[in-house]
Chains A and B, each alone.
Chain A
Amino acid sequence: MILSPTSRRRWLLASAAALVHCHLAAQPDPSTINISDKVAGFVPIALSGFTGEVDQTLRFDLEVAGFSLVPPAQARFELNGKNNGQIECTLTDAGKHTLFARAYPGGTPRAQAHALADDVVQAAIPGQKGIAKTKIVFKLDTGHRNDHNDAVSEVCLADYDGANPFQVTQDGTIVRSPAWMPGHRTLFYSSFRLGRACIYSHDLATGARAAVASFNGMNDGAAISPDGTRIAMVLSKGGSPDIWVANVDGSGLRQLTTTREDDSSPCWSPDGRTICFSSRAEGATRLYLVDAAGGAMRPLNTGGIRGATEPDWSPDGKSIAFTQMSGRENFRIYVVPAAGGEAQYISDGEDPTWAPNSRTLAVVRRKGGLRRLSLLDVFTRRVKDSASFSGSCSQPSWAR
């Protein structure tokens, strides 16, 4: 009997569904896990039968997702299979019950492995979505200088693990602060292509781009609202770097903050009502909240952690990740409840961006004069380096 992959998968899923349900009911629901509670443990899994790129990719994906790779005797799950053009595999639990048996034909070995990893995450950690097929945009310092002696940086797009990089801009100058338009294949970033930083929107499907903000002074730090209709950014045309909000085409511009000091790094709450940003309005650098519709800015309680900057609001709305600068050379990633409270130290690094699963962060780490992207599982605190590039990578923004 020959079954198409889809019908075969459906059949196997149906037969395994009851088993999956009764086994997994005992596990904690991740939506109720508060990271301020005790750090969640690794999920032990054993892999066998895979080779080469598929094996490497699977191991990477599963470790980022919170699994630990262990011998079969210690494993709660076993993933057994082979890859020869296509992946065929079976996921079983400790009681040897089959959770699924699937084939992954077509595409590259890497893409097959990502698809499998996401299915394993979904089957083994209920409520958790896989992120192995997501993408990240970031700034790549090429290491070159142009005629103006600027350190040339361009905006690049890659798989979440740094594979399959694609250079989005070819401006030959400083291009920085890339940000996704949520739910769209459109990027926003600042480029010096005309001699000063202006904010552009860039439609990845057509390559068309348009200037959104090109005022005298600073045009930077674009962040798009979750519904994709508004842009928050840092402009200095009012006399100091302040937070401004406009429609995504640049119309309807409105000034949100009026501090005399630096305001930077705006980000949106998932409901689009609140903007979190960093400011030194009261001397020390710290985080503030302001209503996107306007109003007074109010400090976010980070539990005494000083030097908070570069906030990013988790997609589930519960947490804000940020960078702590201490001594300007030591950077640490913290996560604080969005309502304020005690901030949890997660890892060393800077400029965090949340994955769509509200559990994984991409961060920047400095090593030997270079900067590179790493993936950080907030629950287990595990850090995995992304694929390395010949230049420095920074300012990651996760597609979500």
Chain B
Amino acid sequence: MKRFSQIGLISLLLAGALGGVGCKHNPKNITALPGSEPPKGGTEFTTTQPFQPTTGVQPTGVDRSSKPITPSNTFRPVENPNGIDRTVDPLAGAGAGATAPVNTDTNRPQPEGDIRAHTTENREMFAGNTVHFDFDKSAVKKGAETTKVIAVAEYMKLHTEAKLEIEGHCDERGTEGYNLALGERRALSVREILLNSGVSADKVTTVSFGEARPVDPGHDESAWMKNRRAEFILLMPDAGTVR
């Protein structure tokens, strides 16, 4: 009798434990960008020019071979005529595994979380929809600016295969660190409107250029107002042919 009750108690505890596991639910990310779980594994590559160490303590053997830096002798054009290979990211998520790298030799890292992977960008499609911002603001202005975003949202809902990258840009004023964050915030507030309009969250990513890509290199308000912007880059999946 005593033994039976013991067994009953154990089975009750066991059931409770299993039930607890089964009831566990994942917290929902509301506006997080996709790819929050990074792929495991990592790759390394080597740059063409290893650093030449110089001796620091005693003034002997200091390397003076390096020439002063000027664009003419240091800048080298990118070999790829398109500048950047946007089809595959061999480094996506590299080194981001929380666990020990056990199976790193079996598979190269899969850029599964990378929205840009295996897509071709189209910068012209939404060139007229570029959103402009007030000075030091990241909120999309009501009226004409919001309407441009809604128009992009309508396209995205009709073309479910399409993905989108939103570039955030700033004018040259402000510190670099600040502008980087401000550009990202601009891109993210545009993204927020898209998501609220029904565009799927796993189709839209963001990038901040800070002040690095002005449309107008001028140093006055007419240039600055053009440069405070968010641009839409349409990403179409590669179908056999790559441009």
Please give the residue numbers on chain A whose beta carbons come within 8 Å of chain B beta carbons, in ascending order. 104-108, 110-112, 114-115, 133, 140, 142-144, 146-154, 156-157, 164-170, 172-174, 176-177, 185, 192-198, 202, 204-218, 220-221, 234, 236-241, 249-253, 261-265, 278, 285, 309-310, 323, 325, 328-329, 331, 350-351, 369, 387, 389-391, 394-395
Contacts and interface: CB of A to CB of B under 8 A. Distances in A.
A272 B54 CA distance: 29
B131 to A, nearest CB: 17
A193 B204 CA distance: 20
B126 interface: no
A165 B69 contact: yes
B46 A217 contact: no
Contact of A170 (B49, B55, B61, B207): B49
B116 interface: yes
Contact of A253 (B60, B96, B182): B96
Contacts of B43: 210-211
Contacts of B165: 196
Contacts of B240: none
B208 interface: yes
A167 B63 contact: no
A285 B84 contact: no
Contact of A209 (B45, B55, B214): B45
A333 to B, nearest CB: 11
29 contacts: A105-B60, A107-B62, A112-B59, A144-B75, A164-B63, A167-B49, A170-B47, A170-B48, A174-B212, A185-B51, A194-B84, A209-B47, A211-B91, A213-B96, A214-B89, A215-B93, A216-B205, A217-B33, A217-B184, A218-B184, A220-B208, A236-B208, A237-B32, A238-B32, A239-B188, A261-B185, A262-B181, A264-B180, A331-B175
Where chain B touches its partner, the secondary structure class is loop
Give the interface centre of B60, B71, B176 by most chain A CB atoms within 10 Å: B176
B83 interface: yes
B241 interface: no
A208 B31 CA distance: 35
Contacts of A185: 51, 53
A80 to B, nearest CB: 19
Interface stretch (B11-19, B34-42, B141-149): B34-42
Interface string B168-211: 00000111111011101100100000000000000001111110
B74 interface: yes
Interface of B: 29-36, 38, 42-64, 66, 68-71, 74-78, 81-86, 89, 91-99, 113-116, 135-136, 138, 165, 173-178, 180-182, 184-185, 188, 205-210, 212-214, 219
A204 B52 CA distance: 8
A209 B62 CA distance: 25
Contacts of A369: 219
B189 to A, nearest CB: 9
Contacts of B82: 147
Contacts of A204: 50-51, 53
Among A151, A176, A236, residue most surrounded by chain B Cβ atoms (within 10 Å): A236
Contacts of A111: 59-60, 62
Contact of A237 (B35, B42, B70, B81): B35
B178 A309 contact: yes
Which one of A210, A218, A238, A391 has the greatest number of beta carbons of chain B within 10 Å? A218
A167 B74 contact: yes
Contact of B206 (A165, A170, A217, A329): A217
B75 A210 contact: no
A198 B92 CA distance: 9
Contact of B32 (A154, A213, A239, A263): A239
| 10 nearest A-B residue pairs (beta carbon) | A107-B59, A262-B181, A207-B50, A204-B51, A106-B60, A239-B31, A111-B59, A328-B173, A211-B94, A211-B91
B58 A210 contact: no
Given A164-B64, A197-B207, A210 B44 contact: yes
